[in-house]
Copies of this chain bind each other. A is one copy, B any other.
Amino acid sequence: MWQLYQFPLCPFSRKVRLAMSEKGIPYELVRENPWDRREGFMDLNHAGRTPVLHDPDKGLTLSDSRAICEYLEETGDKNPLIVGTAPARAEIRRLVAMFDEDFYANVTAPLLHERMMKRLVLRQSPDSKALRQAMKLAHDYLDYVDHLIDYRAWLGGVTMSLADLAAAAQISVADYLGGLDWNGHEQAQGWYSVFKSRPSFRPLLTERMDVIQPPSHYADVNA
A binding-site residues for B, Cβ under 8 Å: 46-47, 60, 62-64, 66-68, 70-71, 74-75, 86-87, 89-91, 93-94, 96-98, 101-102, 144
Contact = CB atoms under 8 A, between A and B. Distances in A.
Given A62-B87, A144-B46, A93 B67 contact: yes
A90 B68 contact: yes
A78 B211 CA distance: 54
Contact of A89 (B46, B64, B70): B70
B144 A94 contact: no
Residues of A contacting B: mostly: helix
A71 B87 contact: yes
The 9 closest A-B CB pairs, nearest first, are A67-B93, A64-B97, A71-B90, A64-B94, A67-B94, A74-B86, A67-B90, A75-B86, A62-B90
Contacts of A96: 67
Given A47-B98, A70-B89, A71-B90, 10 more contacts: A46-B98, A62-B94, A64-B97, A66-B97, A67-B90, A67-B93, A67-B96, A67-B97, A71-B93, A74-B89
Contacts of A89: 70-71, 74
A175 to B, nearest CB: 22
A143 to B, nearest CB: 11
Contacts of A144: 46
A71 B91 CA distance: 10
A81 to B, nearest CB: 14
A4 to B, nearest CB: 15
Nearest to A105: B105
Given A46-B144, A60-B87, A98-B47, A93 B74 contact: no
Contacts of A63: 94
Contacts of A101: 101
A97 B68 CA distance: 11
A8 to B, nearest CB: 22
A144 B48 CA distance: 14
A66 B95 CA distance: 11
